Amino acid sequence: MVVHSGSGYNLRMHTETYDYIIVGGGSAGCVLANRLSRDPATRVLLVEAGGRDDWIWIHIPVGYLYCIGNPRTDWMYRTSKDPGLNGRDIHYARGLGLGGCSLINAMVYMRGQARDYDEWAQLTGDSSWNWEGVLPQFKRHEDFYRGASEHHGAGGELRVEEQRLSWDILDRFAEAANQAGIPKTDDFNRGNNEGTGKFQVTQKTGVRWHAGKAFLPTDTEARRHNLRIVRNARATRLLFDGKRCSGVEILSQHRDATVQWQALANAETILCAGSIGTPQLLQLSGVGQAALLQQHQIPVVHALEGVGANLQDHLQLRMAYKVKGIKTLNTMANSLWGKAMMGLEYALRRSGPLSMAPSQLGIFTRSSGEHATPNLEYHVQPLSLDKFGDPLHPFPAFTASVANLRPTSRGHVRIQSARHEDKPEIHCAYLSTPEDRKVAADALKLSRRIAAMPALAPYSPEEFLPGPQFQTDEQLAVAAGNIGTTIFHPVGTCKMGRADDDTAVVDTRLRVRGIAGLRVVDASVMPTITSGNTAAPTMMIAEKAAAMILADRATA
């Protein structure tokens, strides 16, 4: 039966029942769907708002330039105007489609530091989240190009390889970093990522290897009849039976019609919608800060102050330098001949500039001696542009982006209405603490010191962003606000914590406090941000969560 509602939706009055409902087919959701559907007796529904990955630019690594800022693959969020960015708001890309942010991210495989997970264990009181506890979860789904070892796994679903190109300008920058006292490393993923080296990436022979492709290849549904993947579908509201989550309300797009239906979960509903989508759905459903829900006339199902709070992100400061006498992507990409040669190299060898991740050279170091482990990450690129989506500059240049790995600033995600169509407020509060402003100034000074080393002198590097006119610490903090932008690592908005932590949304088994049958499994559960890119840690969380979910069901 189909009836027409005043809302404009076609309401298909039906309900479907599963054991597990997974909301969000991103990096975490794909891992969970794979693991939970291995048992053919377990019925799993995966709800994904995006469509299929049948666009060529998803698979060609450099296609991130076309995927970010494109509503086909990006939720197209914007932040609120941020005082720390000198009043600017910025585009806040989040991946849309099966694979989530791994469809559009930098492909950098980065676990972070052992101290990150040891800190999680200390903050939550659960030693299973320490480095020794999570390392096997990283290795379980890894397929490392050098094979299995003490630190890496082989034969898993997630392929990790070296990049298939090199740039002289990046080699010279790496040499300059060595001259500045930063050592070399050949692997950032052994628990101590200090050093200068090339990023390892989630690619397979020069093709992006996103989470959907890795964990849910196109024949998965045919092989696993107990797994249903619904694309172009959005969970709009959680359903409750008292203090138990019973399922979700879903809007699905079928050809030209939008239909509304319900899915019920016998076991659990699992939110994997990310650090923006998960708190938004909880708030829309009546779980969150009571005052916020009442402001939007949403009945309070369960008051949890931490929902949407504790937002953390890595702010990258994009210093750019003009150079002479050395090749960069700017000059190649602005030439028809250069474009033709890049296309030919990729077609024949799956190598060259079209195979490159946004960043090839990485550096992890300290902004000052007071830090026991590296608190800065560099992404060094053989190109320059004003912002993602803009054309490359018409002169040879490189960019040295540097991020504070452990910011003390905290922002929030809050709904702005009771309508699921309305995007939430994303307030990052960048550079809102004295500590973060000091690290920003120190980081810019370190970048200048590296650029002044003899290895780069033959190429006459000339800083044009932010510009040499910024000299004092306060001026450099202002400059950081001018050139700073997200590196797309939001975490923490549904953090896990101890029972006596009033700001914790989930416990250490990722169950939502005070609500039965509901878990959160994505980057929003991180109590503190990891010291590096966040895709690999998010998949690790899902791997660990799958084991906990299956263990809990076995003992229920």
Cα separation, 2 vs 193, in Å, equals 57
Q: Give, in order, the Cα–Cα distances in Å from 27 to each of 75, 213, 536, 542.
A: 15, 10, 9, 8
Task: Tell me: pLDDT of 115 over 80.
Answer: yes
Task: Tell me: pLDDT of 4 over 50.
Answer: no
Task: Tell me: pLDDT of 132 over 70.
Answer: yes
488: left (phi over 0), alpha (psi -120 to 50) or beta: left
Query: In this predicted structure, what is the pLDDT of residue 321?
Result: 98
Query: In this predicted structure, what is the pLDDT of residue 387?
Result: 80
Kindly calculate the radius of gyration of the chain based on its CA atoms and give it in whole angstroms: 23
HEC letters along 410-476: CEEEECCCCCCCCCCEEECCCCCCHHHHHHHHHHHHHHHHHHCCHHHHHHCCEEEECCCCCCCHHHH
Q: Which tens digits make up the pLDDT trace of 402-448?
A: 999 999 999 999 999 999 999 999 999 999 999 999 999 999 999 99
Catalytic residue among 314, 379, 393, 489: 489
Matching residue, tokens 């910011």: 407
Q: How confident is the model at residue 7 (pLDDT cuts 50, 70, 90)?
A: very low
Q: Which tens digits make up the pLDDT trace of 458-511?
A: 999 999 999 999 999 999 999 999 999 999 999 999 999 999 999 999 999 999
Q: Are 493 and 509 in contact (CB under 8 A)?
A: no
Q: How confident is the model at residue 12 (pLDDT cuts 50, 70, 90)?
A: low
Q: How confident is the model at residue 303 (pLDDT cuts 50, 70, 90)?
A: very high
Q: How confident is the model at residue 213 (pLDDT cuts 50, 70, 90)?
A: very high
Query: In this predicted structure, what is the pLDDT of residue 398?
Result: 97
Q: How confident is the model at residue 11 (pLDDT cuts 50, 70, 90)?
A: low
Q: Which tens digits make up the pLDDT trace of 118-127?
A: 999 999 999 9
Q: Are 77 and 96 in contact (CB under 8 A)?
A: no
Mean pLDDT, residues 379-399: 91
Mean pLDDT, residues 148-167: 97
- First-last CA distance in the chain: 37
Q: Which tens digits make up the pLDDT trace of 497-527?
A: 999 999 999 999 999 999 999 999 999 999 9
Q: Are 314 and 116 in contact (CB under 8 A)?
A: no
Query: In this predicted structure, what is the pLDDT of residue 286?
Result: 98
Query: In this predicted structure, what is the pLDDT of residue 10?
Result: 53
Identity of the amino acid at 137? Q
489 assigned to active site: yes
181: left (phi over 0), alpha (psi -120 to 50) or beta: left
Q: Which tens digits make up the pLDDT trace of 234-279?
A: 999 999 999 999 999 999 987 778 899 999 999 999 999 999 999 9
